[in-house]
Amino acid sequence: MMRNEIFEVVQQSLVDAIGVELEEVVAESTLLGDLGAESLDLLDVLFRIERKLGFKVTMNDITLMITGGIPDEQFGTDEGYISDLGLEKLKENLPQIDVESLRGKFEAERVLTLFTVDNLVSLVEMRQAELPTVSS
């Protein structure tokens, strides 16, 4: 499945789960901010994607993509902000983010608010690439 086809599945899943207009769901829209999704909505979106595509993308996949798999205590500082290591992982995994603007100011627990439609499309694309190929 091509990236534009994955985008259409993600877009329609967001429209159906959240009730936003199709035109609102653009690549740079943040799921929790711009589109107004809540955590339960994300689970609904992921379920709809799974039903359409036949493979799972989980909240854990989203978390791993955002954090780069580092433990919470290394991702955030004692003060609750994203650590330097956490910012490095964000820069690698969510390239649209200006990490310098977040340094020392952005709470680690709010990091999911940075996740965009394009990030979700990339994640679905990665999961699809991991599927075993069927030979004929």
Q: Could you read off the pLDDT of 105-119 as tens digits, one per residue?
A: 999 999 999 999 999
pTM: 0.92
Q: What is the pLDDT of residues 73-86, one digit of tens each?
A: 999 999 999 999 99
Residue by residue, DSSP assigns 37-99 as --HHHHHHHHHHHHHHHSS---HHHHHHHHHTT--HHHHB-TTSBBPHHHHHHHHHH-TTS-H
User: If you average pLDDT over residues 6-34, what whole number do you get?
Assistant: 97
Section 62-77 average pLDDT: 94
Predicted confidence at residue 132, as pLDDT, reads 85
Cβ–Cβ under 8 Å, residues 19 and 12: no
pLDDT band, very low/low/confident/very high, at 122 (cuts 50, 70, 90) = very high
